[in-house]
Structure 1
Amino acid sequence: MPTPLVLSPKECQGKTWRPPQGLAFAASHSLLPLHAGELAKAAATMPLALVKQGREWRLVGVCGVEAHHNLFIKDGKWMGQYQPEWLATHPFEVVTVGEKGIVTFDHESGFLAEGEAGEPFFDAQGQLKAAVSTRVETLKAAYGKQQATQKALAALARAGVITPWSEALTRQLGMVIDGLHMIDEKALAQLDDEAFLALRKAHALPIAYAINLSLPQTHLLARLARLNPGHVAAPENLDSFFDSDEDLSFDFDD
């Protein structure tokens, strides 16, 4: 794994980059990273899921039913409503080192240029150029929310309430992406007071509720699959699944 390019005047000296033009760069990303600050808007416009990356869980927006095909992006344009922040900050990201967050540039993004072929990261005075600064400010504003999201997901994992998407849903949707998880409603309802309070203190409950409540947005994936088809055929009808499946009642108050 290549060492990321740390965003600093010294490290970026003599290096340039090409800002993305449109969203075609993400057309092959069927899962997009999210943080808790995006929950309300994202859950209303796309299904959410948890996926395991290494030892950690990640919150993602499910934007496709097969790998390498984002149903929301066609001809470099977003066809949905809410656009995840990741689209506006790529190929920059924050890497946590100890107690600090360091902004880096993704070497493998394809946007690193050679010499004068692209735009410099810094000006002659060592200040961030406008296109870079805009992305960095967005990352800085979201950093605390991302850290809180990871703590909340760790709390959900400790509570033992994370479970795979149901086979019935994935089969009905024609989903061929593995590793999508949701919240086990029954397990959450059966937690003792201490365990439930721990989730509340970790601000994990809004994430738990939003993930399951977002699942009917798979209807949107089915519609987009007809407008922006990949290799997997669009399902004919998901209405009957959500009308009859008792496992998706989303009742967390019992």
Structure 2
Amino acid sequence: MSNPLVISPKECRGLTWHPPNDLSFAAETVLLPLHAGEMAKAAASMPLGLVKEGREWQLVGVCGLERGHNLFIKQGQWLGHYRPQWLSTWPFAVTQVGEKSLVTFERDSGLLGDEEGEPFFDTEDQPSGRTAEVIATLKANHGKRQRTREALAALQRAGVIAPWPETLQRQLGMAIPGLHMVDERALAELDDEAFLALRKAQALPIAYAVNLSLAQSHLLTRLARVNPAQAEAPENLDSFFGDDKELTFDFDN
């Protein structure tokens, strides 16, 4: 369960943090959050899926065949071509509380310190150094994540979200429940008004990208051969992949 620290001069007084040395923190995370702004690059590098988190749908990169083993991360290094932006901002996140967007830090990340480390704020109570860089990235992506959620909500209202094909999951040996895509037949049968609503919500590019990205699912089985629990990654990964190369902010500005 998440245990966030709200990033504010008061809450962070006397505290520091340690930027991750590598990507080992995500080695057991197989569904990486994405936003529509990075969707095209991600779809060319990994299969994408839609998963339901509470009442909302989320766009994710599918990076494993079973929970607990991210096939794209070996010894803390990323093996793929495109690296989701979430990896560069963790353990920071934006948490919505009512109408406020709060920047938070995961206390249980193991990266919180009290003396040595990166300060959260400078002497003038402004975000400092690496903290400021991460906050700038979160701010730049916040609107994109909001629009992505709105687009996925539009797909849900249209009734076109469907599970990943069972045949594909069996072929892959997939053991991750809850993966969804877009039912292309249902999408084609929408009336003009419903289809236009999806276009206005910018949901159609997501629908097409998710479905097209399933062709990248073969990478999961290939990675599973070279990156099981204790296997060494191949030295030349290019040849393996081929040519697939309380602090609040106004996030609307």
TM-score under structure 2 length normalisation: 0.88
Q: Which runs of 5+ in 1 are unaligned?
A: 232-254
Taking the aligned partners of 1:12 and 1:86, their CA distance within structure 2 comes to: 22
Partner of 1:199: 198
TM-aligned CA deviation for residue 177 of structure 1 = 0.6
* 1:86 matched residue in structure 2: 86
* Cα offset, 1:38, TM superposition: 0.6
Q: Residue 140 of structure 2 corresponds to which residue in structure 1?
A: 141
Over residues 1-59 of structure 1, what are the superposed CA-to-partner deviations in whole Å (9 max), with x where a residue is unaligned?
Answer: 56521111111011221110011111110010000001110000000000011111000
Q: CA deviation at 1:221?
A: 0.9
Q: Deviations over 1:46-81 (max 9, x none)?
A: 000000111110000000001011100001100101
Which residue of structure 2 aligns with residue 216 of structure 1?
Answer: 215
Query: Which shows bigger deviation, 196-205 or 98-107?
Result: 98-107
| CA–CA separation in structure 2 for the residues paired with 1:222 and 1:3 | 34
Q: Which structure 2 residues correspond to residues 23-102 of structure 1 after superposition, within 5 A?
A: 23-102=23-102
Q: Is the 8 A contact 2:3 2:106 kept in 1?
A: no
Query: How many corresponding residue pairs?
Result: 230
For the residue of structure 1 that corresponds to 2:102, the secondary structure is strand
SS of 2:58's equivalent? strand
Describe the superposition over 1:177-206 as per-residue Cα deviations: whole angstroms up to 9, x where unpaired. 110000001100000111101100100000
Structure scoring higher RCO (CA < 8 A, sep ≥ 6) equals: 2
Q: Percent identity?
A: 67
**Which consecutive residues of structure 2, in runs of 5 or more, have no partner in the other structure?**
231-253
Report the AA paired with residue 184 of structure 1.
D
SS at match of 1:141: helix
For residues 201 and 2 of structure 1, the distance between their equivalents in structure 2, rounded to whole angstroms, comes to 34
AA in 1 matched with 2:63: C
Provide the C-alpha distance between the structure 1 equivalents of 2:51 and 2:136, rounded to a whole number of angstroms.
27
CA deviation map 1:91-136 (0-9, x unaligned): 00111223332111112222222x2143321122212221111111
Runs of 4 or more consecutive aligned structure 1 residues displaced over 3 Å after TM superposition? none
Q: Can you list the C-alpha shifts for 1:141-194, whole angstroms capped at 9, x where unaligned? A: 001100000000000000000011111101100100110000001100000111
Matches of 2:108 and 2:193, distance apart in 1: 44
Q: Say which SS state the counterpart of residue 116 (structure 1) adopts.
A: coil
Note closer, same or farther for the CA distance 1:223–1:192 as it changes in structure 2 (3 Å cut).
Answer: same
Which residue number in structure 2 is paired with residue 186 of structure 1?
A: 185
Distance 2:47 2:101 in 1: 29
- Per the alignment, residue 245 of structure 1 pairs with none
Q: CA RMSD in A?
A: 1.4
Distance 1:108 1:135 in 2: 18
The 5 A counterparts of 1:104-143 are: 104-113=104-113, 115-143=114-142
The AA in structure 2 aligned to 1:116 is E
Matches within 5 A, 1:7-22: 7-22=7-22
Distance (Å, rounded) in 1 between the aligned partners of 2:109 and 2:194: 41
Q: Which amino acid aligns with 1:77?
A: Q
**For residues 190 and 60 of structure 2, what CA distance do their matches in structure 1 show?**
25
Q: Determine helix, strand or coil for the equivalent of 1:133.
A: helix
TM-score, structure 1 normalization: 0.87
**CA deviation after TM superposition for structure 1 residue 230, in Å:** 4.1
